[in-house]
Every structure is written in C-alpha cells, then in structure tokens.
Amino acid sequence: MTTPIPVPPYVPLLTHAVQIDTDTPVKTFKAWFDTYGDIFKIYLFNKTSIWVSSAALCAELSNDQKFSKSIGGALVEIRALVDDGLFTAWKEEPNWGIAHRLLTPSFKMTEVKSMFPDMMDIATQLILKWERFGPDYRLNPTEDFTRLTLDTITLCSMSFRLNSFYRDDNHPFVQAMYDFLTECGRRIRRPAISDYVFPANYNKWQGDITYMNNLAQSILDKRRQRPIDKQDLLNVMLNNKDPKTGKNMTDESIINNLITFLIAGHETTSGLLSFCVYYLIKNPETMRKAQAEVDDVLSDQQLQPEDLSKFPYLTATLRETLRLGPTIAVRQVEANEDTTIGNGKYFIKKGQRVVIHLAGVHRDKAVWGEDADEFKPERMLDGKFEALPLGAWQPFGFGSRVCIGRPFAMQEATMALAMILQKFTFELADPDYELEIMQTLTVKPKNFFIHAIPRGEVY
C-alpha cells in the first residue's frame, strides 16, 4: 500500500499557479516544504509536479535507470531560444548525443587548465577595477562577477571579447538573457492565450530571442571569415566530427550550444562567487582562514597554473557555498516506468515529473546535522567530501545530464576567489543586510553591496 502525496490547497481552474511568488518562486516552495514536509504535489493548469527536498529521496531519484532528466516547466519555454542545445534537449534527441560526445573532452581538467591565461586575463580586469574604484565605492559584486563570468566563458569558448568591464551598464546580452529567462518563468504560470491578450510581453520575449540568436550567429560568421588555430569550443564544434556517428554539428546546433554556454556558463558561477563573498563576510573566521591559505600559497606573487591544486580550504569554501546556495536551485526528473520512492511509500507514475529542491536537500538535517543552516567549509574538506552519501550534495546535477562545465566553473571560481582574497578584505555596505534572493533560471543575492578594502589599508 502506498501513501498519498500531500497536495497544498488550491483554487480549481487557476490551480496552484496563482499562489506562486511571481519574482521569487523558491519562496513559495520553501513555505510548502515547511508545511508539508519532504514531499508534496502541485498542479499548474494541466500539469502535475511532485516536489521533494530530502537527501534520501534525492538519492532514489538519482538512479539513471529509473529516472531521466525532465524538460518541463520553464525549460520548455527556454527551448524557444536554444531548442535541442545540451541543457534543454529531450532525452531522445540525437543532437544532444553528438554535442555531448564532441564537447565532453574539452571540459576535462587538463583542457580547462589550458584556459588559465584567458581566465587570468578577465580576472585581472576585475581586480584592477576594484583597486581603482577604492574602498569607499559602493560595489555590487554580483554585477562585476557577472561581467567576469560572461567575459570569461565568451573568451575561453569562442575567443571573443565582450569587454564588459569597459562599460558602465550590463552588456545587452545580459539584459536580454535576464528578461528572457524571467519571462520564461512567468509564461508557465499564465495560460497560452495570454500571448494574444498581452502581445507586448510576447513581442519583447521574441525580440530578446532574436537579439541573442543574432549575437551567436555573428560570432560564428566572424570565425568563418577569420579562422584561428586555437582549439576553443567553437572550433571543436565547427571542425570536429562526432566519434560515434562521424557527423559534424549543424550550424543550428552550434548556435544553440553557443547560447547555452553563454547562459549556463556564466549566471551560475557569478551567483556562486556572490554567495561566497556574502558568506565570507558573515563568517569572519572563515574569511581569515581562507585569506591565510591564499597568503601561504601566493604571498605577494601572481597566481600560477601550478597553484590551482594548493587551495583545499578555498575548494571546501566553494563547495559549502554551493551547498547553502545552489545557484541552480532545482533539477527535474521523470520516471521511466511506474515506480515508487520513499522505500516503497509513494507511487510515481511513468512520465511523472519530480522536482528535486536542491536548496532543501542540501540542508537536510538527517545528513548535515542540527547545524545544517550554518556555513562551515570544514565539512567539505577532501576526505569528508568524498564520503558524503549519494543525493546529499548535487549542485552540478547528476548522471548522464550532469553539468559538463563543472571543472571550468570550479577553476574559474577558485582563481577569482584566490585573486580577490589576496588583494582585498570585504565589508557589507549596508551593515544590517541579510541575504535576499533574485531568481531567473538561477538564483543570486539581491540588493547586495559591499566595500572591497585593499588589504593592509585602514578604513
């Protein structure tokens, strides 16, 4: 006998759609978990989704034989831009296999290490900016980390410079992407007819799609006009053949994946670095230990590729940041067959979508203990980290659809963190600030301002 899954009260016809916080949906889901426990079911018009937030349930759902990544909700809307690109491809789409086999070797740690000079180039621009703006400047670190990560992924993957540090406002790509992703999140809570009733929303959404497609197309066109030798991701996609089928990627698939990298490859790491600075400021002892490690390794010397493996405490700090603030807050799977979860307790029908609320899973007291909400990098040091149970820590996803960019993100974030900690210490610009979240496809701190104080200077 299975147990029914709790369903929060809802208004028939409007379903649960009207109850979800428009700007920060994760707030509503957290409130439902607080009320109903580790699992509940909701209806969004004609779609049903089951939400879970325990490490044990996450582990059961991390069985690639029984569950596959589900492209539902906002991901379906995002397909209007990137179609069968790596992140949004349905499981049976052949272009996913071709792109995955072609690109996976480029994300091995050794290959990512060769991107060190390009990553250093952009990180140096951030350091120079913060040095020149000085300690009195009210700095929005999230905006500058977005400049850093967007320019880094563009330079490393396409050898193309967006030069975001040389402009006051965001690069237009960032605005178009932000508006597009926000609208994707809203579209799933509106009936399809609203495209006709509110054409302005729809037209803006289409305009953003066109802008991003044109940018990617122009990068591709310029590469064809002026080929280069460097084995960046764009050249791999243009010139290499899939080892299994012998096929090249089509132009359409290249553009879908260029845009996928631009989006998936920067928002996430920018959020990681922003949350990390927030947690370091709130935990001065951790900041001190992290700075001590950087001083031991670097002293006043410039970071070198061989230093990357010498920062176990920074690595643990980044892992702990991703535990408390997973920048992709949910992942979705669907059952390949009728099955049960919760050790046979809950029935899951074939095709049923189950959303794993990673932010909840990562604070499961059954794994992390009573201090689960506290920021303690010590629990993420090598040795302890490898011994974590399956399902306890999944900020990069799991299985065949795990994040292809994990080594890239970890190297980029470690470099940036080491470089800023070598030069600065941080204070909140608003001393009473408590973390607020802004959400699109990813989550980031909102209204977060700091002072970056050059080390050794009295402020």
**Whole-number minimum distance, CB 399 to ligand HEM, in Å?**
8
For ligand HEM, the closer of residues 259 and 348 by Cβ is 259
Distances (CA, A) of 110 to 138, 152, 303, 305, 400: 38, 17, 17, 11, 21
Active-site residue 396, yes or no? yes
The amino acid present at 238, given as its one-letter code, is L
Q: Is 62 in the site for ligand HEM (CB under 6 A)?
A: no
- C-alpha to C-alpha distance for 140 and 165, rounded to whole angstroms: 13
CB 255 within 8 A of CB 214: no
For ligand HEM, the closer of residues 330 and 453 by Cβ is 330
Q: Between residue 203 and residue 262, which ones bind ligand HEM under the rule CB under 6 A? A: 260-261
Give the binding range for ligand HEM (CB under 6 A) out of 52-60, 239-247, 294-302, 398-406. Answer: 398-406
Q: Which of 272, 77, 105 is nearest to 186 (CA)?
A: 77
**Whole-number minimum distance, CB 153 to ligand HEM, in Å?**
6
Q: State both tokens at 176.
A: 């178009």
Q: Between residue 407 and residue 436, which ones bind ligand HEM under the rule CB under 6 A? A: 408-409
Q: Which one is catalytic: 29, 145, 261, 396?
A: 396
Active-site residue 424, yes or no? no
Q: Of 146, 268, 283, 315, which one interacts with ligand HEM (CB under 6 A)?
A: 268
Q: Between residue 87 and residue 106, which ones bind ligand HEM under the rule CB under 6 A? A: 87, 100
Q: Which one is catalytic: 58, 145, 403, 424?
A: 403
CB 330 within 8 A of CB 355: yes
Interstrand relation of 353-357 and 47-52 (parallel, antiparallel or unpaired): parallel
Q: Of 331, 353, 362, 444, which one interacts with ligand HEM (CB under 6 A)?
A: 331
Q: Between residue 271 and residue 290, which ones bind ligand HEM under the rule CB under 6 A? A: 272
For ligand HEM, the closer of residues 256 and 291 by Cβ is 256
Provide the binding-site residues for ligand HEM, judged by CB under 6 A.
Answer: 69, 86-87, 100, 153, 260-261, 264-265, 268-269, 272, 327-328, 331, 395-397, 401, 403-405, 408-409
Active site residues: 268, 396, 403
